[in-house]
Homo-oligomer: A and B are copies of this chain.
Amino acid sequence: MFFTKSPSPPLDLGTDVATLTATLCDLESVSGGEERIADAIEAALRPLSHLQVTRDGHAVIARTNLGLIERVVLAGHIDTVPLTEPPNLPVRRDGDNLVGRGTCDMKGGVAVALRLASLLSQPNRDVTYVFYDCEEIENERNGLARVGRNNPELLRADFAVLLEPTDGVIEGGCNGTLRVEVTAKGKAAHSARPWNGHNAIHEAMTILGRLVAYEPETITVDGLDYREAMSAVGIRGGIAGNVIPDECVVTVNYRFAPNKSGAQALDHVCELFEGYGVKLTDTADGARPGLHLPAARAFVEALATPVRAKAGWTDVALFSELSIPAVNFGPGDPNWAHHAQEHCPVQQLVDAEAALLRWLAAEPA
């Protein structure tokens, strides 16, 4: 018998949440490369008779169907940003922390959800577990959005919890995000005689100057404070080593408070870079906190932990589009997401599992 690829190792959902987190992280799954981890998750969930399992591309959806009056979603993405060089995997234990790519953003949350899926054969609310691909890249490839397009009924719920890292507190809503390419134009010439051309990279200094001088705002929406951010995330220019380049492109990421629509945010960026070409490449609206809605209020009361605003964009915004109130709650300090020294305290993994178990295992109020 021949294998065309190495099979996924089996996942043991009966192990402790820290060990499961490390196993999931070591199943490297940079966006676009989620097949093996999705296979492993699917294989671990299929044998559980209390769950109905659906596969959609490299997303896995598992649902209880107990006919309860309330249904909640627990969701997490299974992809990560690229590894560092040298690679920040495999995961290592450093004192009270797990260290390595994915420990914080967000295989810790995925491990918690998988543990709950395994333990809760009789939850007090029907639960839909969603493990999905391509969250860390262009919004149009987002696996959760794809599941919503392919089979919106699968996501139907009264409330959703995204297990993104929140340092163990509840984070309401989220900032929106957009990416634009800002282009400085020049005129090509031989670099021995630059006076005959106009150097687009030198011209891009003005674009960078506006970025550096920009002072992002903090905006209060429904009682929570949203801190905005505007950053260059890419720059490219150059034709050959002896040519004055005629184009330099700066990729800018704007994280905007949920009081603005994506269109308003784009207007703001266009204004900042007036005089330069601005091309939108990717946008996702934010989400207002929505904590006044009953199912969200019940969750906040059950967990009794602090509530704050979410700086990063998360897929609560997609639930928001589906009119499902959603919050972020998960292990890991989001300040370490995408960081070379990404890590997660083991205690937060244990605490998040326990908190969600208390919420879903007790009798509903």
A234 contacts which of B137, B194, B201, B232 (Cβ < 8 Å)? B201
Is the pair B229, A241 in contact by a Cβ cutoff of 8 Å? no
A240 contacts which of B197, B233, B245 (Cβ < 8 Å)? B233
User: A268 interface residue, CB < 8 Å from B?
Assistant: no
Is the pair B282, A229 in contact by a Cβ cutoff of 8 Å? no
Q: How far is the CA of A204 from the CA of B231 in the complex (A)?
A: 13
Q: How far is the CA of A145 from the CA of B179 in the complex (A)?
A: 47
The A196-215 residues at the B interface (CB cut-off 8 A) are: 196-197, 199, 201-202, 204-205, 208-209, 211-212
User: A190 interface residue, CB < 8 Å from B?
Assistant: yes
User: A242 interface residue, CB < 8 Å from B?
Assistant: yes
- A312: which B residues are within 8 A, CB to CB? 190, 192-193
User: A81 interface residue, CB < 8 Å from B?
Assistant: yes
A244 CB to closest chain B CB, in angstroms?
Answer: 6
Q: How far is the CA of A312 from the CA of B194 in the complex (A)?
A: 10
Is the pair A196, B339 in contact by a Cβ cutoff of 8 Å? yes
A174 CB to closest chain B CB, in angstroms?
Answer: 9
Q: How far is the CA of A346 from the CA of B7 in the complex (A)?
A: 68
Q: Which residue of B lies closest to A30 (CB)?
A: B240
Is the pair B202, A205 in contact by a Cβ cutoff of 8 Å? no
Q: How far is the CA of A138 from the CA of B241 in the complex (A)?
A: 8
Q: Which residue of B lies closest to A165 (CB)?
A: B190
User: A29 interface residue, CB < 8 Å from B?
Assistant: no
Q: How far is the CA of A239 from the CA of B244 in the complex (A)?
A: 25
Q: How far is the CA of A138 from the CA of B82 in the complex (A)?
A: 31
Q: Which residue of B lies closest to A234 (CB)?
A: B238
User: A219 interface residue, CB < 8 Å from B?
Assistant: no
- A250: which B residues are within 8 A, CB to CB? 201
Is the pair A192, B282 in contact by a Cβ cutoff of 8 Å? no
Is the pair A192, B175 in contact by a Cβ cutoff of 8 Å? yes
The A240-262 residues at the B interface (CB cut-off 8 A) are: 240-246, 248, 250-251, 253, 255
Q: How far is the CA of A311 from the CA of B194 in the complex (A)?
A: 10
A232 contacts which of B84, B201, B229, B282 (Cβ < 8 Å)? B201
A95 CB to closest chain B CB, in angstroms?
Answer: 21
A294 CB to closest chain B CB, in angstroms?
Answer: 29
- A232: which B residues are within 8 A, CB to CB? 199, 201-202, 237-238, 245
The A298-356 residues at the B interface (CB cut-off 8 A) are: 311-313, 334-340
- A313: which B residues are within 8 A, CB to CB? 192
- A175: which B residues are within 8 A, CB to CB? 192
The A151-205 residues at the B interface (CB cut-off 8 A) are: 175, 177, 179, 188-197, 199, 201-202, 204-205
Is the pair A235, B233 in contact by a Cβ cutoff of 8 Å? no
Is the pair B211, A202 in contact by a Cβ cutoff of 8 Å? yes
User: A5 interface residue, CB < 8 Å from B?
Assistant: no
User: A236 interface residue, CB < 8 Å from B?
Assistant: yes
* Interface CB pairs A-B, < 8 A, 13: A84-B188, A105-B190, A190-B338, A191-B233, A191-B253, A192-B255, A196-B336, A202-B212, A204-B235, A205-B208, A208-B208, A234-B241, A240-B338
- Across chains A and B, which 4 residue pairs bring their CB atoms closest together, nearest first? A234-B238, A192-B312, A205-B208, A201-B232
